[in-house]
């Protein structure tokens, strides 16, 4: 695996790969890599000829200064994991290489700007849009791979690509989970042993709430989540919503004709975690 620290070097090599007729698969990450990230790389390797991964903790998408400072950084381990997984190129820039000048662009995403993550993390998706547009413009991949763990983020990225008419296909990949069902996340390493144990109830609650939503209703499912989370002193719920899987409009009643998804965000101690689970999968 070749490692570049500047976009100019990345561009030169990618241009020559494209001249050889190779398709480019891109996996953007913030590092502290786990099997969720590697699953995106594996998918990129399946679908494209030459894979590029980036590791960059993007400051403009953090609305909370301590979350940025405490974001885990494990570069040596990440490089080893990527090498073992067969990644072709790693782009490992510093802030100056990504933002030679301050990015003042403002993006809008309609309903996606007001709901769920957007409501709880003001400015977050604007920062995501800034960095993703810079990376996609610089790397110019044929396909870019994103995890559906960050469900709303995938929708924002798809909208961004459409708005900017970028010639890239966005590929959404499934959530990879730990043995006990907890969605893999770089933030999981910040959980204490006790918090990690408490966090393992999140996927179980999501599954039970899905049954309640289907059999009794959305209000009952929400009430169940609120009640169960409040039993855990270290947990604090930000939201649990059941939404239209296409628009993210919150549902009060599930329809068997419309795809729906439950999305949750909560704190376990000081660590903010998100997860989601399909409720009705077919149209």
For 183-224, give the secondary structure using H, E and C.
Answer: ECCHHHHHCCHHHHHHHCHHHHHHHHHHHHHHHCCHHHHHHH
Q: Residue 178 or residue 258: which is nearer to ligand AMP going by CB?
A: 178
Distance in Å, CB of 201 to ligand AMP, minimum:
17
Distance in Å, CB of 251 to ligand AMP, minimum:
23
Q: Residue 29 or residue 60: which is nearer to ligand AMP going by CB?
A: 29
Calculate Rg over the CA atoms of the chain.
Answer: 19
Identify whether 37 is a catalytic site residue.
yes
Q: Residue 14 or residue 131: which is nearer to ligand AMP going by CB?
A: 131
> What residues contact residue 30 under an 8 Å CB cut-off, 6+ apart?
55, 56, 57, 58, 71, 186
Distance in Å, CB of 74 to ligand AMP, minimum:
12
Q: Residue 45 or residue 149: which is nearer to ligand AMP going by CB?
A: 149
CA dist., res. 109 & res. 156, Å (int): 7
Task: Identify the sign of the CA torsion 116, 121, 122, 127.
Answer: negative
Distance in Å, CB of 226 to ligand AMP, minimum:
25
Q: Which residues bind ligand AMP (CB under 6 A)?
A: 29-30, 36-37, 39-40, 146-147, 149-150, 173, 175-176, 183-186
Distance in Å, CB of 176 to ligand AMP, minimum:
4
| Residue number with the smallest Cβ distance to ligand AMP | 147
The dihedral formed by the CA atoms of 282, 113, 271 and 78, expressed in degrees to the nearest 10: 80
Helix, strand, or coil (residue 53): strand
Q: Residue 181: count other Cβ atoms within 10 Å of its Cβ.
A: 15
Reported as type and span, the H/E element at residue 277 is: strand 271-280
Q: What is the strand order of the sheet 50-55 is part of? A: 2-4, 89-91, 50-55, 24-29, 143-147, 169-173
Q: Residue 184 or residue 229: which is nearer to ligand AMP going by CB?
A: 184
Select which of 37, 120, 124, 257 is catalytic.
Answer: 37
Distance in Å, CB of 219 to ligand AMP, minimum:
29
CA dist., res. 59 & res. 148, Å (int): 22
Q: Residue 142 or residue 153: which is nearer to ligand AMP going by CB?
A: 153
Kindly list the catalytic residues: 37
């Amino acid at each position: 695996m070749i490692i570049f620290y500047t976009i100019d070097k990345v561009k030169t090599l990618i241009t020559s790969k494209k001249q050889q007729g190779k398709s480019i698969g891109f996996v953007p990450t913030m590092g502290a890599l786990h099997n969720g990230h590697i699953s995106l790389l594996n998918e990129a390797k399946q679908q494209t000829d030459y894979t590029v991964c980036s590791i960059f903790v993007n400051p403009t998408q953090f609305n909370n200064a301590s979350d940025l400072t405490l974001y885990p950084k494990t570069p040596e381990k990440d490089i080893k994991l990527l090498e073992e997984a067969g990644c072709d190129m790693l782009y490992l820039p510093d802030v100056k290489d990504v933002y030679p000048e301050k990015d003042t662009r403002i993006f809008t995403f309609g309903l996606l700007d007001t709901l769920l993550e957007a409501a709880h993390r003001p400015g977050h998706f604007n920062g995501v849009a800034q960095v993703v547009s810079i990376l996609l413009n610089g790397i110019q991949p044929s396909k870019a791979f994103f995890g559906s763990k960050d469900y709303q983020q995938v929708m924002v990225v798809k909208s961004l690509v459409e708005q900017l008419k970028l010639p890239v296909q966005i590929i959404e990949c499934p959530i990879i989970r730990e043995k006990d069902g907890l969605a893999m996340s770089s933030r999981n390493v910040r959980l204490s042993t006790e918090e990690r144990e408490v966090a393992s109830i999140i996927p179980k609650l999501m599954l039970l709430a899905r049954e309640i939503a289907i059999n009794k209703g959305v209000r009952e499912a929400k009430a169940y989540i609120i009640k169960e989370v409040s039993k855990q002193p270290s947990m604090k719920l930000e939201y649990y919503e059941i939404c239209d899987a296409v628009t993210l409009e919150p549902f009060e009643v599930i329809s068997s004709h419309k795809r729906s998804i439950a999305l949750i965000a909560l704190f376990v101690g000081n660590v903010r975690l998100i997860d989601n689970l399909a409720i009705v999968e077919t149209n």
